[in-house]
Amino acid sequence: SRATVVNYLQEARARGYIRISLAPEVFTSHQLAEDLRDKFGLQAAYVLPAGIGTEEETLLRVAQGAARWLPSLLESGDRLGVAWGRTLYEVAEAVEQARLSGVTITQLVGSLSTPYGFTAEVCSSNLAQNLGAGCINLHAPAVLSDASLAARLREEPVIHAQLEALSHCNKAIFAAGSCEPDSHIVSSGLASQQDLDWYMSKGAVGVLCGRFVDAAGQQIFGALDDRIIGVTLDKLQGLDMGLLVSEGPSKVIPMCAVIAGGYVTHLVTSNNTARMMLDVNM
């Protein structure tokens, strides 16, 4: 009977025997995707339907879309730099098991002692494991209490070699962070509220890999930068691919800023966020 067939299909999906998916081209050829490419000069955009669910559900849908698209954007010889945060964690978790020969995942930011599970080393290690790729972790704290201590740590041979590896990344995946008081850059301990207030007073509107940027995507340099162990933004410009995965109203201005800075070639977001981005005057 029809009911029996439906039950069998549901059980097969639950056990992972069957999977229903749409080819990436369905989402990259969407009119909103074309409008984003035209406005921001992107190579490609992947726009997911927000649906009628919660913001959390939409974020997961966007992360899953990025996870489906990412393997097709990689090839043997690529070195993919991976940032950190909730969005990147969900992308790494959603990537299906594969074996990408000759691909190396590189952690872009040092480690943070946070109550969250989406630290930089977890994001990079999980993604590498699911892709069947090699992995270079950055075995250092993301931020130190003293700039001179950070400088000495950067000169340690092991850390120096790992930081040098960042210079060889030809592709990167990251999210745009907001400058709101509840943003992860503060709650994770990477920056204090005092740091956030100072950078915002200098024109900061967003965060990329722990670095603050203005509306034009230019890095704003401050005392915090000298204490951070991780990629510098100049290393993220001019790559073969800069994949930005972000979602939500609070991320619209940061996303536009990161794109304006020349870090982004590919974008994944929802249709609602895409429309808000298209309404921003650049």
Q: What is the pLDDT of residues 87-102, one digit of tens each?
A: 999 999 999 999 999 9
- Tell me the backbone φ, ψ of residue 80, rounded to 5 degrees: -100, 115
How confident is the prediction for the chain on average, in pLDDT? 91
Position 16 confidence tier, pLDDT thresholds 50, 70, 90: low
Separation between Cα atoms, residue 191 and residue 210, nearest integer Å: 8
Q: What is the pLDDT of residue 246?
A: 98
How confident is the model over 153-165, as pLDDT tens digits? 999 999 999 999 9
Q: What is the pLDDT of residue 4?
A: 65
Position 282 confidence tier, pLDDT thresholds 50, 70, 90: confident
Separation between Cα atoms, residue 156 and residue 20, nearest integer Å: 49
DSSP-derived letter for residue 168 is: T
Q: What is the mean pLDDT of residues 115-127?
A: 87
Tokens linked to 148: 């001179």
Characterise 107 by phi-psi region: left (phi > 0), alpha (psi -120 to 50), beta (else). Answer: beta
Q: What is the pLDDT of residue 28?
A: 53
Task: Produce one character per residue of 129-162: b if its CB has 16 or more CB atoms within 10 Å, e if not.
Answer: ebbebebbbbebbbbbeeeeebeebeeeeebeeb
Is residue 197 predicted with pLDDT exceeding 90?
yes
Q: What is the pLDDT of residue 27?
A: 53
Q: What is the pLDDT of residue 15?
A: 64
With CA atoms as reference, report the closest residue to 228 among 151, 124, 176: 151
Is residue 107 predicted with pLDDT exceeding 90?
yes
Residue of 11 and 19 predicted with greater confidence: 11
Three-class SS state of 152: helix
Q: What is the pLDDT of residue 159?
A: 95
Residues in Cβ contact with 182 at an 8 Å cutoff, skipping those fewer than 6 apart: none
How confident is the model over 21-70, as pLDDT tens digits? 555 544 554 799 999 999 999 999 999 998 778 899 999 999 999 999 99
SS3 content of the chain, % helix, strand, coil (to 5): 45, 15, 40
List of E strands, 118-249: 134-136, 171-174, 206-208, 211-213, 241-245
Is residue 20 predicted with pLDDT exceeding 60?
no
Percent of the chain clearing pLDDT 90 (strictly above): 79
Residue of 107 and 52 predicted with greater confidence: 107
Residues in Cβ contact with 123 at an 8 Å cutoff, skipping those fewer than 6 apart: 82, 83, 84, 85, 88, 89, 92, 107
Percent of the chain clearing pLDDT 70 (strictly above): 88
Q: Span 23-279: which CATH code?
A: 3.40.50.1360
